[in-house]
Amino acid sequence: MVSAIDQASLLGWYAQHQRDLPWRHTQDSWPILLSEILLQQTQVSRGTVFWQRLYKRYPTVQSMADSTEEEVLFLWQGAGYYSRARRLFQLSKVVCAGVSAGGFGGRMPTTAKELQTLPGVGPYTAAAVASIAHGEAVACVDGNVRRVMARQTAQAKPSDRSLQTWADASLWKVDAGNWNQAVMELGATVCTPRKPLCNRCAIRSSCTGIESPEMYPAPKVRPKKRVDLMCILLFDSNGFPHLEQRDTSGILAGMWGPAMAQELDVESLDYLGEVHHVLSHRDLHVRVWIGQIGKGVDPTTVPLSSLDHKVLALAGSSANK
Ligand code: SF4
């Protein structure tokens, strides 16, 4: 665990060197939750842009509950992992439902235990919101915390259990929100995956992995799965494509786009080309066929994923040749 001296040192470092991020200027749990969900799989610089866009439109959980899933998806365009947007919308509905209907009557839950009952909120997000917004003494464990812990204790493959034990034992309970953010900030900006800045590290005096930090933790090897898809892109006489809203399950659930599936009937259509798109666990290869249809949809009016934008761009570039 981190020694008592290092705890003070880390908190002092955090007070001085934390990045100025917009959600750090509030104690309101709604914008804090929004930031945590956005940053799950999005870099801070990009996440900040989407956070500003969403928070401007939805300053309260009620304002999102009064909106539509389609509008939330529309604003989420480009942030990726659209299931997060759908679950966030479901979360707003649950929070704003009446207590007799199993909701929270418009009040955001305050404890990690209650927060974990909401759609899309796992142990990490619940602990982050409960500690940062409400000061609950619960430790956060994410990828940054895992890296700091592995190096502090010189463990190549720390188990989830030992990681949680370390985080619980190290927690500065007096100010859990700042402590959690300080450990994560250290992992994000000093104890980085490559070339950590050990000479500037506030907890170096208790770090047992300092001589060869990059040995810890051992990288997780997760091969991407190749997925081959077919796509049919039909245009009307005005150049608008046929777009439809996808089912509520699958890779691009709820987003709009042209027909896309592993098997489609493409007889009588012209082959256009292939689009390659990488997701965190999948390597998508989309072969695109083109044809005509009576009436299409203006693509700027519906939520489209980055993959769908690439497919439309392929047609655009081919038309310009
Ligand atoms: S001394 Fe280096 S390896 Fe250890 S926690 Fe600090 S930055 Fe990470």
Q: How far apart are CA 129 and CA 121, in angstroms?
A: 10
DSSP structure string for 104-159: -TTPPP-SHHHHTTSTT--HHHHHHHHHHHH--------HHHHHHHHHHTT-SS--
Distance 205 CA to ligand 1 centre (A): 9
Superfamily of domain 225-319: Nucleoside Triphosphate Pyrophosphohydrolase (3.90.79.10)
* 13 CA to centre of ligand 1 in angstroms: 14
* Cβ–Cβ under 8 Å, residues 106 and 98: no
Model pTM score? 0.82
- From 201, 208, 212, 216, give the residue whose CB has the most ligand 1 atoms within 8 Å, as the site to mutate: 201
Q: In this predicted model, what pLDDT tens digit does every residue of 136-151 receive, in sequence order?
A: 999 999 999 999 999 9
Find the 25 Cα to ligand 1 centroid distance in Å: 28
pLDDT per position as a tens digit, 48-67: 999 999 999 999 999 999 99
**Residue pair 229/284 in contact by the 8 Å Cβ criterion:** yes
CA-based max dimension of the chain: 73
Which of 147, 148, 166, 197 has most ligand 1 atoms within 8 Å of its beta carbon, as the pocket-test mutant? Answer: 148
111 φ/ψ sector (left φ>0, alpha ψ -120 to 50, else beta): beta
Write the CB contacts of 254 (distance below 8 Å, at least 6 apart in sequence): 69, 70, 73, 82, 85, 86, 245, 246, 248, 303
- Residue 204 confidence (pLDDT): 95
What does pLDDT average to over the chain?
94
Q: Which of 181, 188, 200, 195 is nearest to 148 (CA)?
A: 188
Instruction: Give the span between the Cα atoms of 183 and 132, in whole angstroms.
Output: 13
**Binding site membership of 201 for ligand 1 (Cβ less than 6 Å):** yes
Superfamily for the 4-215 domain:
Hypothetical protein; domain 2 (1.10.340.30)
Q: Two tokens at 17?
A: 């060197």
Q: Which of 17, 151, 183, 194 to mutate to test the pocket of ligand 1 (most atoms within 8 A of CB)?
A: 151
pLDDT score recorded for residue 4: 67
Give me 56's structure tokens.
Answer: 């401007």
Residue 29 reports pLDDT greater than 90? yes
Q: Strand pairing of 259-261 and 270-278?
A: unpaired
Q: How far is 210 from 223, CA to CA, in rounded Å?
A: 29
Report the alpha-carbon angle 36-42-45, nearest 5: 95
Domains 4-215 and 225-319 share a fold: no
Tokens representing residue 283 in the block: 């390597």
The one-letter code for the residue type at 182 is A
Evaluate: CB of 170 within 6 angstroms of ligand 1.
Answer: no
How far apart are alpha carbons 319 and 134 in whole angstroms? 55
Please, what sign has the CA dihedral across residues 72, 75, 79, 80?
positive
All structural domains of the chain with their residue ranges = 4-215, 225-319
* Cβ–ligand 1 contact at 191 (below 6 Å): yes
Do residues 231 and 312 lie in contact, with contact meaning Cβ atoms separated by under 8 Å? no
Q: What pLDDT is attached to residue 50?
A: 97
Ligand 1 atom nearest 213 alpha carbon: 3
List the single range of 38-42, 194-198, 233-237 with lowest mean pLDDT.
38-42
Question: How confident is the model at residue 2, as a pLDDT?
Answer: 67
Tens-place pLDDT, residues 180-233 = 999 999 999 999 999 999 999 999 999 999 999 999 999 877 778 999 999 999
Question: What percent of the chain clears pLDDT 70, i.e. is strictly above it?
Answer: 98
CA distance 152 to 157: 13
Q: Is the pLDDT of residue 264 over 70?
A: yes
Q: Is the C-beta atom of 188 inside 6 A of ligand 1?
A: no
> Is 274 annotated as catalytic?
no
Q: Can you tell me which atom of ligand 1 is nearest the CA of 196?
A: 7
Question: What separation in Å is there between the alpha carbon of 211 and the centre of ligand 1?
Answer: 9
